[in-house]
Structure formats: C-alpha cells, structure tokens
Amino acid sequence: MTTTDKASTRDRLLDAAAEIFYREGVSVGVEALCRSAGVSKRSMYQLFASKGEVLAASLERVLPAYEARLAPGSQEEAGPPRERILHVFARLEKASAEPAYRGCPYLAALVELKDPGHPASVVARGAKEWLLGFFRARAEEGGARDPELLARQLMLVFDGASARAGAKVETLDGLTTATATALLDAAGME
C-alpha cells in the first residue's frame, strides 16, 4: 500500500465531492470535481460507476456527522424531548448565519435532481426520513397530541427555513425556534 492507497483516495474524492457539490450544485463537472480532489478520473471511475454514485456516496458519508450535529448525545444527557427538538432549530439557525450556508444539502439534492430514483435522491430521502423519525420520537416522549402530525409540521419548518436561508431570501434569527415553539405548544407537548 502506498501513502495514497485506495481508501484515502476514496476519502479525498468524497470529501471534495461533498464540498464542491454543496457549494456549486450537482451540475459540477467530473473534470472539476477530480481536479479539486487531486484524484484522476481513472481512479474515480474505478471506485464508482458514475458521477451520480459519487454524489450519493458523498451525501451518505457525511450523514452520521449531520445527524450527530442535529441530535447530539444519543441518550442520557441529551435533555428533555422539547429541548432536543428546539436544539435542532438552534443548530439550523446557527449554521444558516454563516455566509457559506447554502441550505440543507439533502433537500438541495432532491430539488436539483428532480429524479426521485436517482441514487443520491434515495440517500437524501433517507436523511429526511431520519429527521422526521427523530421529531416523531421526541413528540411521543413529550406527549404530543398527534406526534406524526407535529413531526411533519416541524419538517415543513426545517426544510422551508433551510431552503429560504440557503437561497438568501431569509435570515433566521430566532424565526424557526419561535415557530417550532408555537407548534409544540399547539400540539400540547410538555
């Protein structure tokens, strides 16, 4: 094994892919992607069957970190369910304040590739499913009247806010936490 073996080549490629696809969109060319990763097209096509697979793998790779950021401390010290939900929106607002923020990468992928069958769309839907499930679980724990409804409402707020903030149409200073709070209260969640 050389210093740039298969694994590290793959890592460099996926890291660069996540960064450039997020910054410039899924229409970035394979040439530019490989250049920014320091990986030859040859190597890329030995690791992946197509550009779409690279995109899907790059989205999948950052998913655990994404989830950990929104839902830290998987169990004990995580705090009461209401706090855990509001933490998601606090993180969203904090991230959206950075100038490089371009919205949730999973929602962006779903919108840009209009094809729901695209491998990256499948990964993106999985990310959305995970967050929906997180909200629903917390809603159940908190005794919400209709946990599924509340979770879906919170997803509307999350995705609406990330799309609008990413497109620089809105600045989220406290907006999503205020909105989420109103919905939690309306759902009778403690």
Residue 42 makes contact with DNA by CB under 7 A: yes
Selected range binding a copy of itself among 10-18, 62-70, 76-84, 176-184, rule: CB under 8 A:
176-184
The residues near 52 (Cβ < 8 Å, ≥ 6 apart) are 118, 119, 120
Among 29, 79, 116, 188, contact with a copy of itself (rule: CB under 8 A): 116
For residues 181 and 170, what is the distance between their CA atoms, to the nearest angstrom? 19
Token readout for 169 is: 């149409």
Residue 114 makes contact with DNA by CB under 7 A: no
DSSP letter, residue 188: T
- Residue 42 interacts, among a copy of itself, DNA, none and using kind-specific CB cut-offs from 5 to 8 Å, with DNA
Residue 5 makes contact with DNA by CB under 7 A: yes
User: Segment 34-93, which members bind a copy of itself (CB under 8 A)?
Assistant: none
- Residue 70 interacts, among DNA, a copy of itself, none and using kind-specific CB cut-offs from 5 to 8 Å, with none
Selected range binding DNA among 23-31, 66-74, 113-121, 144-152, rule: CB under 7 A:
23-31
Contact 171, 165 (CB under 8 A): yes
Helix H, strand E, coil C: the string for 124-180 is HHHHHHHHHHHHHHHHHHCCCCCHHHHHHHHHHHHHHHHHHHHCCCCCCCCHHHHHH
For residues 190 and 185, what is the distance between their CA atoms, to the nearest angstrom? 8
Residue 177 makes contact with a copy of itself by CB under 8 A: no
Residues that bind DNA (CB under 7 A): 1-6, 9, 12, 27-32, 38-43, 45-46, 50-52
